[in-house]
Structure 1
Amino acid sequence: MPMDHLACFTPADLTGRTPPDLGAFRWRLLAQGDSWFSNSRDKLNAHANLLQELVFRSPVAAINCAGTGNALSHMVDLESSPEFVRLLSGPGAPLWDGVLLSVGGNDLIAAARTPAHHGSGEPIPLQLRLLRHQTEWGPPSAGVARYFSEPGWVTYSDYLRANVKHLLSLRDQGPSAGKPVFMHCYAVPMPRPAGAENGTDLGAGPWLYPALKAYGVPAADWAAVSRLMVFHLALLLKGMAADKENFPSLFVFDSTAVPLALATPGSTGISGDWHNEIHLNHSGCFKIARAWSEAIELVLEGKHLIQPTTGRKGRGSSSSNS
């Protein structure tokens, strides 16, 4: 069956001289997110946009509020995104069939980049950072978890849960109350000296590479530490999706289940399915988006899976929490 790419528009398109006919599409979605969603020309020139690679069996349109401005650097920035909030729950907001979100990854990176000490030399408490200083490492028997701040993870988890609950409350204040919200997990980056050509919301990068060096984490453990953090985030997001009482109609796609070509350690540019240290290139976006598309479409058609499905190849490698 022929597949249609997601038709992406901006809020400005809705008020332009020739606004899109959203009635021509079977489903209409509202999108917001970080640099994985951004329509900013410098970001599109630098690396891929995950939305560009979503495909469906029926025509689907999205109004993407990541737009041409700065993509979200923190979850709390959702509230300072007036176009998104207006289109989601403001006066005269349209009825959306669902909401697409790419959030939480930049917060994870920012937490991992928090240093062990202030510039004055005063220690930053463990509950405010994700990595441990060498003097705080656990025993070698703990593996790479000895570098990880569990108190910091509790703080991050509470923060992310509160912000996602707030976003769902915004949805339920408007005409799209109860409609599905689709979030994705993140792929596991290889910490390496590969920054962004045109800069990002968190600076030009690299991002994890200098943080792990500053904390003295052995290079042989960098990939495993990155995996530990991304898998913690995936479990957190999937746990929220499974908690239907507190997070109703939230659906999380497990991007970690999609096989990707890892970047080569030490590489400084495009490598594997990665454009730089934390952003996918077009092949990486293609692999994740094609699998996520199927999970989204199952929900929109009312056929979403009760149990996550993993271990299959290609589009079938998706997993959805219902």
Structure 2
Amino acid sequence: MDHLACYTPADLTGRTPPDLGAFRWRLLAQGDSWFSNARAKLNAHANLLQELVFKANTVAVNCAGTGNALSHMVDLESSPDFVRLLAGADAPAWDGILLSVGGNDLIAAARTPAQNWNGEPIPLELRLLRRQTEWGPPSAGVARYFSEPGWATYAEYLRANVKHLLSLRDQGPSAGKPVFMHCYAVPMPRPAGAEGGDDLGASGPWLYPALKAYGVPSADWAAVSRLMVFHLAQLLKAMAADKEAFPGLFIFDSTAVPLALAAPGSTGISGDWHNEIHLNHSGCFKIARAWSEHIEMVLEGKHLIPIPTGRKGRGSSSSS
């Protein structure tokens, strides 16, 4: 097994560019801080790409690069290297695209306050958490704190952005090639921020102050975090199962990988976590090794093709 060889777009135009043709599989990558190879981020926590391993020699050109990684899906519009390498006139033909996106958007939605700067209430459809006066009955469990209208807004936003990305893929020489996305691990809301800022423009913590501001009881914080991350995982897997709307999309369910949880209330490295929302090297190792196997099986055409219920005679590639 060999580690994924990673280059940046700048490497392709350098004095000694890598020979992409020497690799069995050639991948294009873009994403958030889970993919960023900025030195400050690598010193602070891990890069998921660095832990990917393959039986066949595999290369990725990582557009998350050394600058700020994506804060939101719409940032793809301002990522000229990625768009050029995916759909430009001289774009290479890639065997697949690796994406780490959607997590920062979920965090941002959870951080949306109940009121705007001048005290006016923000509608439920524009936030993921409910004010105490809006909580449902205790019988609803932690779902009583969760804004389903806000989730519907987020889900439509994510679906539209992924469809746009797939359309970009199909405008270039990599049309129809697999797009690989991962789900996110479930963070423990806690007062553990990042060193030197993060992709959301703040040093964190992220979920911890939001849950406090909404008055969610601390005993329910972990379950609320799990609810949101599992909602995202189910959304992504449903998208991958819809091969008409999202052709060639493959989702790896990171929530199924056993990780060591961070201790509630801890302020630094704990379990498989470097801070509240970023994995450390052991956490990345666990997820990346499982994701590598999933990616290579798809590239080799060995993924399962189950028949979805309710759709007679139509196959769908596995999203797990």
Same fold (TM over 0.5): yes
Partner of residue 266, structure 1: 265
Q: How does 1:142-161 map to 2 (within 5 A)?
A: 142-161=140-159
SS of the residue aligned with 1:83? helix
Match of 1:116, SS state, is coil
Task: Determine if contact 1:53/1:290 at 8 Å carries over to the other structure.
Answer: yes
Matches within 5 A, 1:60-99: 60-99=58-97
- The answer (yes or no) to whether the contact 1:46–1:198 under 8 Å persists in 2 is no
User: Take 1:174 and 1:306, find their aligned partners in 2: how far apart are those partners?
Assistant: 26
1:119 Cα shift?
1.9
Q: Which runs of 5+ in 2 are unaligned?
A: 307-316
In structure 2, the partner of 1:251 is: 250
Q: State, as a whole percentage, how many aligned pairs show the same letter.
A: 87
Q: How far off its partner does 1:305 sit?
A: 2.5
2:6 and 2:304 mapped to 1: Cα distance? 26
1:69: Cα distance to partner? 1.2
Q: Which residue of 2 aligns with 1:27?
A: 25
Q: 1:1-322 counterparts in 2 under 5 A?
A: 3-202=1-200, 203-306=202-305, 321=319
Q: Hey, what's the Cα distance between the residues in 2 that align with 1:303 and 1:199?
A: 41
Offset from partner CA, 1:100-150 (integer Å, 9 cap, x none): 000000000000000000121100000000000001000000000000000
Answer yes or no: is the 8 Å Cα contact 1:298–1:305 preserved in 2.
Answer: no
**Structure 2 residue aligned with 1:315:** none
Instruction: Say whether the 8 Å CA contact 1:295–1:320 is kept in structure 2.
Output: no
Shift of 1:201: 1.5
Question: 1:24 Cα deviation (Å)?
Answer: 1.0
Secondary structure of the corresponding residue to residue 63 of structure 1: strand
The residue identity in structure 2 corresponding to 1:96 is: W
Matched letter for residue 147 of structure 2: S
* Aligned-partner Cα distance in 2 for 1:197–1:293: 29
Report the residue type matching 1:6 in the other structure: L
CA distance in 1, matches of 2:222, 2:258: 16
| CA distance, structure 1, for counterparts of residue 199 and residue 20 of structure 2 | 31
8 Å CA contact retained: 2:96, 2:178? yes
Give 1:292's aligned amino acid: W
**For 1:247-275, what per-residue CA distance to the aligned partner results, in whole angstroms no more than 9, with x for missing partners?**
00000000000000000000000000000
Structure 1 unpaired stretches of 5+: 308-318
Partner SS, residue 233 of structure 1: helix
When normalised by structure 1's length, the TM-score is: 0.95
